[in-house]
Amino acid sequence: MVSSCFMAVRALGLPLPPLAAASSDGSCGLCGVPIRKGVTPAKLYQPTAEFAAFEHLHPNRSGWICAACVVVTSSASGLMTRHSRAVFTANKAYRMSNAADICWMLQHATPPFVAVFNTRASAHVLWQAPVTHDRAVIGVVVGSTVGTIRSQAVLSAHAALGRLADAANKALGTHYHWPVFNLSLYGDLVDACRLNPLHESMLRSSANPKVMGDLCAFDDLNPTERWALSALLLARPKRGQSIASFDEPPILEKKND
Ligand SMILES: [Zn+2]
């Protein structure tokens, strides 16, 4: 089992610290990888008195953390701060700090990868992140939300929103580009990407089965999928209602290149 933390440390080319093997069996208190007595290099770990985020620790924690998590929690690695909006693939770390970067992740990142998007100054995103093995269902951490993104569902909802905008504009004589508002990447996911109330009441009362189908495609999205959809709607370049192809984001610093 390769943890999200190990992938990030490897992608950045950071060395693992020399640690003695654990003296008892258990699991890493952060990423949860198995710790084997006499085999796995590990460090004893007790959260400090000011550490408040116990819900961010692994439920099977046993007093140890693995070598990768020692690196992740060191301030020198930057993995809790400046490298906490990133995509970590098997050998590279890419920036993921704006809408176009998120779209690139959605369309082009090669599995396995780990995608994290911190929405605060510092957060415990990395060790909670799932490792994505299949682009069909992308695991992601956005702020304090651990979620999944069905890439096809997001693309379908994007196309549906284009048709809904056309239907609503035609019925109401308006000229909105999209029938949604509050497109937010950096804030709370709860209210992100909502239907414009004026358009929504008209669309929901429609007897047109195509409109109802398109509303379902939008309503079906979970909060992290709405975050990804927001990125698609915000990203430049725009080509009308179609989706552009996005350039590879900058590669984050690698220590041993
Ligand atoms: Zn760990």
> pLDDT digits over 7-61, tens only?
999 999 999 999 999 999 999 999 999 999 999 999 998 777 666 666 677 777 7
CB 10 within 8 A of CB 254: no
Under the banding of pLDDT at 50, 70 and 90, the label for residue 257 is very low
**SS3 call for 178:** coil
pLDDT value at position 254?
A: 60
pLDDT value at position 165?
A: 95
> pLDDT digits over 86-100, tens only?
999 999 999 999 999
What's the 161 CA to ligand 1 centre distance in angstroms? Answer: 41
Select from 71, 1, 59, 50 the least CA-distant residue to 30.
59
Instruction: Calculate mean pLDDT across residues 203-217.
Output: 95
Residues 6+ apart with CB under 8 A from 176: 165, 168, 169, 196, 199
Break the chain into its structural domains and give their ranges. 4-143, 151-235
Average pLDDT, the chain: 90
More confident residue, 150 or 61: 150
More confident residue, 247 or 160: 160
Under the banding of pLDDT at 50, 70 and 90, the label for residue 133 is very high
pLDDT value at position 246?
A: 87
What's the 186 CA to ligand 1 centre distance in angstroms? Answer: 27
Indicate whether 114 pLDDT > 90. yes
Q: What percent of the chain has pLDDT over 90?
A: 72
What's the 137 CA to ligand 1 centre distance in angstroms? Answer: 23
pLDDT value at position 184?
A: 84
pLDDT value at position 50?
A: 64
pLDDT value at position 189?
A: 87
What's the 257 CA to ligand 1 centre distance in angstroms? Answer: 25
pLDDT value at position 121?
A: 67
Indicate whether 135 pLDDT > 50. yes
Select from 86, 1, 202, 233 the least CA-distant residue to 78.
86
CA distance 257 to 97: 23
pLDDT value at position 238?
A: 66
Q: Kindly report the length of the chain.
A: 257
Helix 223-234 to helix 99-108 angle, to the nearest 10 degrees?
110
What's the 32 CA to ligand 1 centre distance in angstroms? Answer: 6
What's the 215 CA to ligand 1 centre distance in angstroms? Answer: 41
